[in-house]
Amino acid sequence: MINKISDFLNQFDLDVRKTNDARFMDQKCTPDVVCFIADCIVNVVHGNETFAVDTIWDSFYFSKNVRAIYNKPSANEQTARHEYDKFIQQPLRMLASAHVLNIWKDGNKNLYSINNPEILDYIAIKERNAYQFLTIYLEKVLRDSGQWDAFKSYFDAPSEDSYMELRDKFIRFMKGHTAINTPVEVRRIFPKILNVFAVEFHINGSERGHMSKFAFSFSDLMYNRENWRDVGKDKSETRQQAATEEETASTEAFNAYYVQKAIGQIRKIHKGQSEVHDQWGTGEATQVHHIFPKSQYPSIATYLENLILLTATQHNTKAHPHNNTQIVDKDYQLVCLLAKSDSIEKSIKKYGETYYNKSLFLYVIYVGLNENILPDASFDDIRRKLIYLYNAA
């Protein structure tokens, strides 16, 4: 998929000196927000349908899940309208700058349509995919714009001096070639670009206007949810004091969103075909089964590597005997794990880690069976180990 993204972007000249596009990247375009907005588009917009910010904003899918994931106030609250507008608009503009979306004007309003559904789907699958897309896209923009060498100089020798030199040069570049005329606005955009590469190259990034004290990690790129948790809270109150039953429910909704998203992805990946090829696997597969139950293993409930597509018969009579979801048949759990390992192996060979990740599958096994399998183990080794563990139990 990485090659497909590169090939797609290489069709276009993304030189900011020619496009004068200041919104090729923006403050809200973090991997998790870009992934979420892409997911909203995939679930709300159909085919070549024209849409706008309000299409996403007014959708039940967005209003329900944005509160669950980011603990934001209701999308209907006017006090939050300006922030919501940026939260949706900025990722849309970035995706349009990358030509994943088409964009045109209707008066002062931006209208969009989907130009590359395959890349949009890839971004929507998981935050890591959104991050991979951003690294490829931003490098392309910087190279086309003659700015890559300046960034590369910092990557090769990060220091406070080289950081300030790069930041000031980028400010001059943006002011000279876009409608932005104040350094403050550029300083908001600059970290979102630099920090993507700081993670990629395992170096210090940008934090509060200076070079960060430590090297950036993937989790450091995520959107600061705490900004929204303060809405409506008396500043004299602690977060604990301001906690409500609604916030507790929000945590449950947060988990439910990611579980349902993962379930939907499993259905899309396997297209109605059971992953377990046994005598009960004929007919349409409609049931997504947690190999290790989400009630007992909540930490891996959203992992695609712990989910498997089954027929109703496989799910209701084999995985859960007598349709009792409180019971898991251990023999069939092994069958599911073996089948899942086969699905993951085939998917990685065909698509790379677009959908599945081998190390995450090993983590699922570690959590579910308390067994640590070395990362260099082949899939055949993994399957032999699983058979041994279940037979020895």
Q: What is the rounded CA–CA span in Å between residue 293 and residue 289?
A: 8
Span 244-257, pLDDT tens digits: 555 555 567 778 88
| Secondary structure of residue 184 in the 3-state scheme | helix
Q: What is the pLDDT of residue 240?
A: 47
Which of 172-186, 205-219, 235-249 is least confident?
A: 235-249
Q: What is the pLDDT of residue 80?
A: 63
The share of the chain scoring above pLDDT 70, in percent, equals 89
Q: What is the mean pLDDT of the chain?
A: 90
CATH number of 1-6+18-121: 1.10.10.10
Query: Does 79 score more than 90 pLDDT?
Result: no
Q: What is the pLDDT of residue 31?
A: 95
Span 19-53, pLDDT tens digits: 999 999 999 999 999 999 999 999 999 989 999 99
Domain ranges of the chain: 1-6+18-121, 256-392
- Given pLDDT bands bounded at 50, 70 and 90, which one contains residue 237? very low
Q: What is the rounded CA–CA span in Å between residue 252 and residue 205?
A: 33
Q: What is the pLDDT of residue 83?
A: 67
Q: What is the pLDDT of residue 76?
A: 64
Query: Does 288 score more than 90 pLDDT?
Result: yes
* Tokens standing for residue 336: 């599911």
Cα 262 from chain centre: 11
Span 120-153, pLDDT tens digits: 999 999 999 999 999 999 999 999 999 999 999 9
Query: Does 243 score more than 50 pLDDT?
Result: no
Given a contact cutoff of 8 angstroms between Cβ atoms, the answer to whether 205 and 194 are in contact is yes
More confident: 283 or 237: 283
326 φ, ψ (degrees, to nearest 5):
-85, -10
Q: What is the pLDDT of residue 68?
A: 74
- Given pLDDT bands bounded at 50, 70 and 90, which one contains residue 66? confident
**Which is nearest to 9 in space by CA: 91, 99, 93?**
99
Q: What is the pLDDT of residue 392?
A: 87
Span 206-223, pLDDT tens digits: 999 999 999 999 989 998
Torsion of CA 312, 314, 318, 322, to 10 degrees: 10
Q: What is the pLDDT of residue 232?
A: 43
Residues whose CB is less than 8 angstroms from the CB of residue 29 and which lie 6 or more positions away in sequence, other chains included: 90, 91, 94, 134, 192
- Given pLDDT bands bounded at 50, 70 and 90, which one contains residue 184? very high
Query: Does 110 score more than 70 pLDDT?
Result: yes
Q: What is the pLDDT of residue 326?
A: 86
Query: Does 371 score more than 50 pLDDT?
Result: yes
* pTM (predicted TM-score): 0.84
